[in-house]
Amino acid sequence: MKLQEQLALNKKEGKALLATNFYNFETLSAVLTAAKETNSSIILQLSESSIAYMGLEVATQLARAGIKQYGINAWLHLDHGNDVDLVKKCLDAGFDSVMIDASERPFEENIKITKEIVDYAKPLGANVEAELGYISKLGQEQKMIYTRPEEAKKFVEETGVNALAIAVGSAHGFYKETPKLQLDLIAEINEATTAALVLHGSSGIPHDQLQESIKRGITKINLATEIKNIFMKKLQLTLSESDEIDLRKVFPLATQSAIDLVRDKLNTVNFRA
Ligand code: 13P
Ligand code: ZN
Ligand code: NA
């Protein structure tokens, strides 16, 4: 099933998919293993910086080969595409889905840029996600401009976008204080638009709030920082305790910690499956 069809179905049924970022072979194999163990479908996300790190060809083929080898139902998605040319390159390379993030631009410009990508993606059959409102980026001060339901309605109608990232109290990276998602606002936006809603910044959001957000209409849960964090913390610990130089013995311990994390998150997100 195409991702846009799955997300539309999720919206109807009140279910969600986990969307995990990967950075290298180890984190890719971690999310695929967790998906396999829980019999879950999953969205594999590449950020612009991960594409710059691995190169588009390697990053794309790694994901495709992984999906095939692990026998998982998964989709490849570009996370936070800012550069229109790169977004188009990813679509040309066969990505199932892309995010065009022009959320920092004025409303009308966001519409124009998003619509350009929707038009480009349509003949290719790809899903398009856009962002409306402002979800603070990693390393930035955590400011927040909530998404307004009436703007979301207009934005989705004018762009024809399938999926919409909304600002409802989450932020990228870890939180200084436990976040409090605006659950009523999620329900209002869900009611107002035909698009499937996406929750960004899920690292650090408590399990019960993730489930409540899904009950209100979130169909895609984006997780990145916690994966990087647990992988690197376990790697640091392992290296501080041993002189092992065979990376094929060291990395799997860090990979296992990421598997355990993603399995937990999948169990949280799949509670209605
Ligand atoms: P976190 O890094 O907070 O998990 O957010 C991930 C995200 O939104 C990727 O688009
Ligand atoms: Zn995000
Ligand atoms: Na977060």
Q: Is the CB of 173 under 6 A from ligand 1?
A: yes
Question: How do residues 109-166 score in pLDDT, each as one tens digit?
Answer: 999 999 999 999 999 999 999 999 999 887 777 778 999 999 999 999 999 999 999 9
DSSP letters of 137-154?
PTTS---EEPPPHHHHHH
What's the whole-model pTM score? 0.97
Q: Is the CB of 101 under 6 A from ligand 1?
A: no
First to last CA, the chain: 16
- Decide if 246 is catalytic: no
Q: Is the CB of 222 under 6 A from ligand 1?
A: yes
Q: Is the CB of 82 under 6 A from ligand 1?
A: no
Rounded distance between C-alpha atoms, residue 145 and residue 98, angstroms = 23
Interface predicted TM-score of the whole assembly (ipTM), two decimals: 0.99
Atom of ligand 1 nearest to the CA of 228: 2
SS3 187: helix
Position 220 scores a pLDDT of 98
SS3 140: coil
Q: Which residue has the tokens 């990508």?
A: 117
Which of 83, 89, 78, 137 minimizes the C-alpha distance to 113? 83
Protein residue closest via CA to atom 3 of ligand 1: 201
Q: Within 10 A of 35 (CB to CB), how many other CB atoms are there?
A: 26
DSSP 8-state class, residue 202: -
| Ligand 1 probe mutation, 225, 262, 269, most atoms within 8 A of CB | 225
**What domains sit in the chain, N to C, each tagged with a CATH number?**
3-272 (3.20.20.70)
